[in-house]
Amino acid sequence: MGQRFTLDSWLFSEIVSPYSGEYVGPKPPLPTEKKPFTFTWDDIYAEYRKDRPFTWVKTEVQACPPPAMREVKGFPQGLDLMALLGSERAKEILESSGDTQYSDYEKKFTELKKEVDSLSKEDWSKNLYLNWLYVLKSLWDEFGYGYPTFMQTEAWQDKELNTALASWTELRHDTLLYVKQSYTMAELGGIFEPLPVVGYVEPIPEFYARLLALTKMTNQGFKSLIPQKELEKLMIEAGLDRFTEILSKLLDISKKELENKPLNGNEYNFIENFGSISEGLISTVSGGEVDPEVLKTVLVADVHTDGNTEKVLEEGVGYIKTAVIAYKLPEGHILLGVGPIFSYYEFKQPMEDRLTDEEWRETLDSNPPPEP
C-alpha cells in the first residue's frame, strides 16, 4: 500500500524551509574553524547552537559558491501542529522558545491556519485520521465559568496540550507505514468525616462527544468492509459497542459534574472500577487473551526528515506520570484526586538510526532526552 497524504504531514512540510524564510532571531557569531567530516550544524556541540532554537539548522547551498549558507527552520515541532489546530498555548510556547523567529513564519502560519480553520465538520469526518485530530481540537475549548477551578489554570492548559501531543504521537506510531512523512528540502483541603470512594471524571463533554462520534464512524466503516459473521468472530463490533457505552457514560458524568449535580452510586462505582472496565474492553477486542505489548504506552515515531542535517524528528511517549488535582463535590467538600497522565518527548535522531519502540524504551531507562 502506498503512503497517503495526511493533514499534519502537509502542514509540517509547509511550515519549514524554504516557506518559513530565514532565521531572524539572536545571532551570536558561529565558529569558523575547520569542522570534522562528520559535523553538522545540528550536532551535539552545544556551543555551535548557542541561542539558536530547536527548529534551527544552518544549510549549505551546494549549487552556489561559498559562503552560500542560510539559517533556516529545518524542523517542525508537534507544537506547530497544535498551534495550527487552534491551541493558543502552543503558539505562546513556540514564541517564547524562539521557534517562530523566521522571516516568513507568521505569514505562512496565518495562511495555513486559515486553511485549517476553513475545514467544516464534514471535512473533519472524511476519514478516521482527520477525525482523530478533530477530537484533539476539542481540548483547546475555553474552560471558563462553571468548570472546576483547576481546569482554568495555565498548568491544566499545559496538561491538555501534553495529552494532545502524546495522543497524536500514538496516532503517527500506529500509521507509520501508512502516512507519507514530511520533509525539509536540502538546499542543494479541610477535615471532614471519611467518605466512600468518590472519583472524578475530567469534565470535557465536547471531547467525549467527538470521540463517541469517531467510534461510531469506525464501527460503521468496519460493518461496510467486513462480513457480519467475521465481525462477530473478531469481536470488533462487540468491542466498539462496549467502547460506545463507556464513552456515553463518561459524557453523562462530565455533564452532571459541570452542572454541580451529585453522582449516584452506580456512577461512582463506574469511576472506581474504570481500570478493570478498560482492561475488559481490551480483552473483548482481543478475543480474550491480552498481549502485554498492547498495554504499553512507551512508543516512538519519526514524523519528519530534514535533508540538510540528515536527521529525523522523533515523537515519543514515555512512562505514565501522575497528576494531583483538587476538585469540589456538590456538597462543598474539596478533595484531592490522583490520576495518570501521558509523558511526551520530542527530539532529533540521525536518519540512518531511527528508533524502534524497544530502542526508545532502552533510551528512556539509560539516557532520556529532556521533556519539552
User: From CA 84, how far away is CA 109, in angstroms rounded?
Assistant: 7
pLDDT value at 331 more than 90: no
Residue 46's Cβ-side half-sphere holds a number of Cα atoms within 13 Å equal to 0
pLDDT value at 47 more than 70: no
pLDDT value at 192 more than 80: no
* Grid cell for residue 5: 497524504
Mean pLDDT of the chain: 84
Per 3-state DSSP, what percentage of the chain is helix, strand, and coil (rounded to 5)? Answer: 45, 15, 40
**301 in helix, strand or coil?**
strand
User: From CA 7, how far away is CA 27, in angstroms rounded?
Assistant: 33
Identify which has the larger pLDDT, 230 or 312.
312
pLDDT, one tens digit per residue, over 176-189 is: 545 555 555 555 44
Q: Contact 24/150 with Cβ under 8 angstroms?
A: no
Compute the CA torsion angle 305, 308, 311, 315 (nearest 10 deg): -50
For residue 202, what pLDDT is reported? Answer: 94
For residue 184, what pLDDT is reported? Answer: 54
- Residue that has been written with the C-alpha cell 569542522 in this structure: 35
Task: Indicate whether this model's pTM tops 0.85.
Answer: no
Residue 80's closest CA among 59, 55, 53?
55
**116 in helix, strand or coil?**
helix
Angle at alpha carbon of residue 268, lines to 267 and 274, rounded to 5°: 90
User: From CA 319, how far away is CA 219, in angstroms rounded?
Assistant: 30
Cα–chain center distance at 196: 35
For residue 36, what pLDDT is reported? Answer: 40
Residue 29's Cβ-side half-sphere holds a number of Cα atoms within 13 Å equal to 3
pLDDT value at 300 more than 90: yes
How many CB atoms are closer than 10 A to CB 15?
A: 27
Span 314-342, average pLDDT: 90
For residue 200, what pLDDT is reported? Answer: 92
The one-letter code for the residue type at 24 is V
**Looking at the chain, how many residues does it have?**
372
pLDDT value at 50 more than 70: no
Span 141-148, average pLDDT: 87
